[in-house]
Amino acid sequence: MDLCKEALALYIFKPVKNRMQKKKRIFGAIPLLVVISCILIAFKSESRLAIKKMMEEPGRIGMITPSSRALYKHMIRQILPISSNTETLLVELGPGTGVGTLLLLELGLSPDQLLCVELDPELKQYMAERFPGVQTILGDAVNLQHILGDNSGKVTAIISGIPLKNLSKKQAIAIIDKCHTVLKPHGKLVQFTYSIKPPPTIPGFKRTFGGLVLFNLPPAFVWTFTKVE
């Protein structure tokens, strides 16, 4: 009987216990890795600003670190090819610290073909200093038609980082509606969200799922709205 107990302890219980301890060690290291990543990210000035803004106004900012380049690359892919002709006009809503702006310029877009609308004064100032050639307007996307003036109806594409999910459905629809108004026919709005539920849409906008980007904190869903009428 004792021999049987010893065999059970040696061949069943001990290996299971060892495996559980190993798993515990692995899972226990995850919070530490998250903290280390956050500290590393915080060394970048745009990350420090993003974290500061998030602490001040979590609802409006809707991010804990700047969006990843992978996310913005994926969003920009939805509007490629971007023609270099003078008629091209791109709008960025809620550029934050300028992750998307930098990518668009790296792609060869001329700074005067890009217009950014940012609600937060400090982020607007940061954008103006980081990208002096790009016009960044301090304003609310809900006033997009008014902000664009004569350029309303001439916009080729809009890249939006606005945290729509933090707004009421009415506010989100008001912004989507303004985007529809300022776009030219077949123009596109690209929006990311952190929720699996798609953002609302309106008649005249065809909404399609653009994919899930895992390499972002948190992973993000990309949606494309095409102006069809």
In the complex, the residues that contact ligand SAM under the rule CB under 6 A are 50, 60-63, 66-67, 93-97, 99, 117-120, 123, 140-142, 161-163
* CB of 162 vs ligand SAM, minimal distance in Å: 5
| 151, two tokens | 């350029």
31 or 59, CB closer to ligand SAM? 59
Cβ distance to ligand SAM smaller for residue 123 or 158? 123
* Beta-carbon count within 10 A of 27 CB: 9
Task: Rank residues 26 and 216 by Cβ distance to ligand SAM and give the closer one.
Answer: 216
15: helix, strand or coil: helix
Residue 74 CB, nearest approach to ligand SAM (Å): 12
Closer residue to ligand SAM, CB minimum distance, 25 or 155 = 155
State the minimum distance, in angstroms, from the CB of residue 211 to ligand SAM: 17
Query: How far is Cα 75 from Cα 94, in angstroms, rounded to an integer?
Result: 14
CB atoms within 10 A of CB 18: 10
Q: Which is nearer to ligand SAM, 25 or 50 (CB)?
A: 50
Backbone angles phi, psi at 166, to 5 degrees: -85, -5
| Shortest distance (Å) from residue 194 CB to ligand SAM | 9
Min dist. Cβ of residue 130 to ligand SAM (A): 11
Which runs of consecutive H residues, i.e. helices, occur in 57-156? Answer: 58-61, 69-77, 99-106, 121-130, 144-148
From the CB of 68, what's the least distance to ligand SAM, in Å?
8
- DSSP-based three-state secondary structure for 186: strand
Least Å distance, CB 139 to ligand SAM, is: 7
User: Which C-beta is closer to ligand SAM: that of 17 or that of 123?
Assistant: 123
If phi > 0 it is left, if psi is from -120 to 50 it is alpha, else beta; for residue 153 that is left
Alpha helix ranges (H) inside the chain: 2-8, 14-42, 45-56, 58-61, 69-77, 99-106, 121-130, 144-148, 169-182
State which residue, 130 or 207, has the beta carbon closest to ligand SAM: 130
The answer to whether 192 and 75 are in contact (CB under 8 A) is yes
